[in-house]
Structure 1
Amino acid sequence: MIKIILLLFFSLNLIGCKKSEPVKSAEKDDKYGDYYVESSIGDATYLNPILASDSASGDINNLIFNGLVKYDKNIKIIGDLAESWSVSEDGKIIIFNLKKNVKWHDGKSFTAEDVEFTYKKLVDPKVKTPYSSDFEIVKKFEIINPYKIRIVYKEPFSPGLISWGMGIIPKHIFEKGDFNTHPANRKPIGTGYYKFVEWKTDEKIVLEANSDYFEGRPYLSKYIYRIIPDQSVQFLELRNETIDSMNLTPDQYNAYKSYFKNYSKFKYPTFGFTYLGYNLLNQLFNEKEIRQAIAYSINKKEIVDGILLGYGLPATGPYPPTSWAYNPEVKDYEYNIEKAKNIFKKYGWSDYNKDGWLDKDGKKFEFTIITNQGNKSRSVACELIQEHLKKVGIKVNIRILEWSTFIHQYVDKKNFDAVILGWNLSRDPDQYALWHSSQKKEGQYNFVNYENKEVDKLLEDGRRIFDEKKRQKIYQRIHKILADEQPYTFLYVPDALPVIHKKFTGPEVAPAGVGWNFREWYVPYEQRKYEMSK
């Protein structure tokens, strides 16, 4: 997989682009000039692709760094820093030929040593990365010459090629100092088509076009990422045309015609899901049937209809319906309060003192759901779940937290009872990082502490097999097990509902997202707001 990331809200998936022509002179019909201003409800955490796990950081890192490969508009793997490659018949060896005309933003040449250094950091136990499992399976990394590398795996590894979509970092910058706290994590130097300018915490991140980019500089001169923690404030900024794009809530999207005549709207299914995850270290959630009873207690249709207004679907498991790993035979949990109450009673939970709440051994069935601020859909989901569980006698508290605090002080440290979050998934169905029992350390993605020996083996087998039909059976089995065991209550698969200012020429919906060709976007001369040309 390239990455599975914690979904803050939505991004334009700025992951690939066509080759552009060399920079022309600044004539009136020149495409080069103007800025793109985007907003986010949360700030980035690390401008380092090895350390970052959230979508805000990913938005910026995708512009600053390149991997060896990437996806094109149709989710086909194409070269990025790699000119070409070959994979052995047994899938255990990949040879990459690297591009020779690539420069780091400080002018140094990109070479195979940078790729080797990136690999070594990914498998260094002292480095706090959630992506190590994709690279620990490498047996040998060999530099053949400055622009050719040979990677030998311990065993066949089907996601091996796309795993090298990981952003490559510069050896000459990071070889000295502590990697986890290095100053370059806030002032990055990459090879990407935008260069870092400044980062004002909780205010904005500014990037500028890389005129030396190996495929040609982007048309837009600057990219400004503003931190606006409240969606309603973002909405007002959009109406005032002080930001250029936003992913609307369904109610905002329905109000589009009366407010946003200067914006183009788009709608397409996201490749991810929103969920209620349980900390399985909490004794309340030890039993599978208790988690199933909670699922029966939640009126998912009301959540989907009330929050998404038809712009999305209920989730039945860890794969969205658009994934080839999706299991159509898995049925969703019906809303059935009586069935839920009977299960709770079976495990000794009943309203013994007649106060309206379930209790057992004098202790009330009570827990807290946490989620991040600024995401209206998640906060409303918390409130609806609170109401639903109250009907069966479970007391739910809600805590809304600032994004960085939420991730680093609560999720990473497993300091929660239950959490509402979302995953933005890789197109490859390998979810080893989410569910394998080896991935439960602080900062890794199995923060609900799920463990199942059959799932572990299935995940391991799915990585060794290249035949898609055989892999499909494996992942459909995983889908069925997780739906049964309910380490998450899988809530919904939302549609992405972005609007983008009409002054931009180039936005196009594709399987890779509406921003797949962002480097080719431009503003016609007469519509420019910030800059005429450069």
Structure 2
Amino acid sequence: MKFKKSLLLLLSFVLLLGILAACSGGKKTSDEPKDGKKGTEQKAEGPQMGGTLTGAMDTAPSGQFNPIFYEEAYEANIIDFIYEGLVGQDENLEFIPSLAKEWTFNDDQSEVTFKLQENAKWHDGEPFTADDVVFTYKMLASPGYIEAGGIRTYIAENLLGYDEYSTGASQEFQGVVKVDDHTVTFKFKEPNVKALGDAAFPIIPEHIFGSMDIADMPSAPESREAGKVIGTGPFKFTEMVQGEQYVLAKNADYWQGEPYLDQVVWKVVDQAVILGLLENGEIDFVADPNGFAAADYETVAAMPNIEIVEQPDFGYQIMGFMMNHGPIMDKSKWKENPKVKDPKVRQAIAYAIDREALMEGLFYGKGSVINSPIATQFDAYDDKNPPQYKHDPDQAKKLLDEAGYVDKDGDGFREDPQGNKWVLNLNYPLGNKDRERSAPIIQEFLQEVGIQVELVQPKEAAVYFEDLDVNSDGWDLFLIGWSLASDDPDPGGIWRSDVPYNYPRWNNEAADAKLVEANKPPEAFDKAYRNEKLSEWQVMFGEDLPAVILYAKNKLWAYNKRLQGVEVLPYRFHNNPHKWYVTE
């Protein structure tokens, strides 16, 4: 019981910190109106030109600002202001025009033709045309894209001729075809239920990258340096102090109209000081990817100048099992990890972790425990049929006993079926405080059922994710979070065995085949049919269990009330920033 005791002490300490923070920030003053409203409401003055807005994120972007190569949500904070796709989404996740003003499908939905905006320009004044669209998708399908570090092959793999072109068997790219300067047609191998989602990817400029070898693109100044990154979006990337500050200046010639703000500045700020800076007005908003901590909710709510946005996260945190070791994209070199190969072991670990306590202790219940890696905002999410893995230490011990993992030497920890010492290592990165706090609590839960866990010294996020990619041969367990795409519930971009994000090296042919079945036309155009197949896949995931879905905490975003024009989406705070303006 010593583990349980120390766990409760740790959770109590975290709760105490939140209570102290709430007390320090929630004191009422004589200036607070008796009706409970905080502060004086801003008088509506209408949109005004000018001003600088400052946002905060707790981790520095790694420095890759090319949409076809970036990997992190921190880089997306910059990219989303610079680049645009042909289509966007609204608050109901319905597709809406962006760089394409309209589109039409052919009869069997194997082709979709887009009419492009005729007044859109790149930041350097060059016109945006169909050539840029063709070029972007050609790069995603290009031989050498994966070798150059590209991880988004799933965006292009449904296109006609993708297999032949990506392998070099054909020199002709058939998937995206220019009709004229402002018309482009996407052609798919077969009718595609995800056609609009596939066409939503940010477009990059051919006149900037067209003369480069794809191997040189990730390191090119045009992918990394302020002043040289060129998009069509409402803001230009103009200045940067790497790891500290990133400046976006308005694109006065933006095709949807000149932005009201002069600048949006991103500052990299330690989580510990973000709230103080928010309260005194040194930063104006904190949003993606981590927002502010649930422990600080009452403190932020008591700030009269701050507005809170709370909504379910479009993603989740996992503890992954390193099921195989070896290069992610070369299954022929994978070697099974004997320490976690038995599904009963993985299931026992899921039962051992009290995810409800983890959620309540760390996030004050502001979130949810989910059992499937599909966002709950999609109606394809199945909350009934997959295994639920409610906290049950006795069931965990029973499964471990059945699998032959028992304590043979009486030291309180189980040995493997051969009688050898059995120690699992748990890896996690620095920077995300939630993960840093979760790791020792998970260790406690697992040790309570006799599983010895060693916490590996955490590394900076950039190093950690690089190691997860190419240097994880000794890993057993790892913590990571996923922000999901909002365009389609298909989980294949992360969980298929042949994709670059398959960090557990999960190799389940039946699960792969079920995803193919869920997307295969014409049946896949029937939503009920598709949801049924995705439900069957979710059950497979839960039974084979390449990862424990720990929690999906609520997004907690905050912004200064001087910022007007905010229209948050279910998956993103910075929506239509050209409409943002400040009142002072």
- State the alpha-carbon separation in 2 of the partners of residues 370 and 261 from structure 1: 40
- State the alpha-carbon separation in 1 of the partners of residues 301 and 132 from structure 2: 49
2:99–2:117: 8 Å Cα contact kept in structure 1? yes
* Structure 2 residue corresponding to 1:468, chosen from 498, 521, 527: 527
CA drift of 1:221 comes to 1.1
CA drift of 1:30 comes to 6.3
1:347 aligns with: 403
CA drift of 1:324 comes to 0.6
- State the alpha-carbon separation in 2 of the partners of residues 83 and 99 from structure 1: 6
SS, match of residue 266 in structure 2: strand
- State the alpha-carbon separation in 2 of the partners of residues 275 and 289 from structure 1: 18
- State the alpha-carbon separation in 1 of the partners of residues 150 and 88 from structure 2: 20
- 1:230-274: CA deviation from partner (whole Å, max 9, x where unpaired): 31132332233211122211111132244x221111211112111
- State the alpha-carbon separation in 2 of the partners of residues 430 and 359 from structure 1: 39
1:189 aligns with 2:248: no
Residues 517 and 148 of structure 1: CA distance in aligned 2, closer, same or farther (over 3 Å): closer
Residues 70 and 349 of structure 1: CA distance in aligned 2, closer, same or farther (over 3 Å): same
Residues 404 and 472 of structure 1: CA distance in aligned 2, closer, same or farther (over 3 Å): same
- State the alpha-carbon separation in 2 of the partners of residues 234 and 356 from structure 1: 42
Residue identity (%): 29
- State the alpha-carbon separation in 1 of the partners of residues 109 and 517 from structure 2: 14
2:84–2:202: 8 Å Cα contact kept in structure 1? yes
Tell me which amino acid in the other structure corresponds to 1:51: F
Residues 235 and 374 of structure 1: CA distance in aligned 2, closer, same or farther (over 3 Å): farther
CA drift of 1:384 comes to 1.1
- 1:373-417: CA deviation from partner (whole Å, max 9, x where unpaired): 222221221121011011112222333322211222334554532
1:81 aligns with: 99
CA drift of 1:362 comes to 5.0
2:498 aligns with: 438
2:299 aligns with: 255
Task: Count the aligned residue pairs.
Answer: 492
Tell me which amino acid in the other structure corresponds to 2:467: Q
1:62 aligns with 2:80: yes
CA drift of 1:43 comes to 2.1
Residues 515 and 196 of structure 1: CA distance in aligned 2, closer, same or farther (over 3 Å): closer
Tell me which amino acid in the other structure corresponds to 1:314: V
Larger Rg: 2
1:235 aligns with 2:292: no
2:310 aligns with: 267
- 1:315-366: CA deviation from partner (whole Å, max 9, x where unpaired): 1111233321111323521222222122222222222122222123453322
TM-score by length of 1: 0.88
1:21 aligns with: none
SS, match of residue 96 in structure 1: strand
- State the alpha-carbon separation in 1 of the partners of residues 341 and 193 from structure 2: 34
1:325 aligns with 2:384: no
1:38 aligns with: 55
Q: How does 1:160-239 map to 2 (within 5 A)?
A: 160-177=195-212, 178-187=216-225, 188-228=229-269, 230-239=270-279
SS, match of residue 345 in structure 1: helix
Tell me which amino acid in the other structure corresponds to 2:191: P
- 1:43-89: CA deviation from partner (whole Å, max 9, x where unpaired): 22310111112111112111100111111233211111112111123
- State the alpha-carbon separation in 2 of the partners of residues 106 and 508 from structure 1: 28
Tell me which amino acid in the other structure corresponds to 2:489: P
2:550 aligns with: 491
* Structure 2 residue corresponding to 1:403, chosen from 437, 461, 465: 461
2:314–2:570: 8 Å Cα contact kept in structure 1? no
- 1:265-300: CA deviation from partner (whole Å, max 9, x where unpaired): 121111211111111112211111110010111111
Residues 510 and 64 of structure 1: CA distance in aligned 2, closer, same or farther (over 3 Å): closer
- State the alpha-carbon separation in 1 of the partners of residues 420 and 560 from structure 2: 54
Give unmatched runs, 5+ long, in structure 1.
1-27, 528-534
What root-mean-square deviation, in Å, do the aligned CA atoms of Structure 1 and Structure 2 show?
1.9
CA drift of 1:129 comes to 1.9
SS, match of residue 53 in structure 1: coil
1:100–1:147: 8 Å Cα contact kept in structure 2? yes
CA drift of 1:310 comes to 1.4
2:103–2:113: 8 Å Cα contact kept in structure 1? yes
1:269–1:493: 8 Å Cα contact kept in structure 2? yes
Residues 322 and 137 of structure 1: CA distance in aligned 2, closer, same or farther (over 3 Å): closer
- State the alpha-carbon separation in 1 of the partners of residues 528 and 472 from structure 2: 36
- State the alpha-carbon separation in 2 of the partners of residues 364 and 522 from structure 1: 61
- State the alpha-carbon separation in 1 of the partners of residues 468 and 501 from structure 2: 13
1:367–1:418: 8 Å Cα contact kept in structure 2? yes
- State the alpha-carbon separation in 2 of the partners of residues 521 and 144 from structure 1: 36
Q: Which has the higher contact order (CA 8 A, sep 6+)?
A: 1
CA drift of 1:519 comes to 2.4
Q: How does 1:272-283 map to 2 (within 5 A)?
A: 272-281=315-324, 282-283=337-338
CA drift of 1:199 comes to 2.4
Tell me which amino acid in the other structure corresponds to 2:320: G
1:74–1:512: 8 Å Cα contact kept in structure 2? no
SS, match of residue 468 in structure 2: helix
Give unmatched runs, 5+ long, in structure 2.
1-44, 161-173, 325-336
- State the alpha-carbon separation in 2 of the partners of residues 517 and 100 from structure 1: 19
- State the alpha-carbon separation in 2 of the partners of residues 29 and 431 from structure 1: 42
2:351 aligns with: 296
2:28 aligns with: none
Q: How does 1:509-520 map to 2 (within 5 A)?
A: 509-520=568-579
Residues 29 and 516 of structure 1: CA distance in aligned 2, closer, same or farther (over 3 Å): closer
Tell me which amino acid in the other structure corresponds to 1:35: T
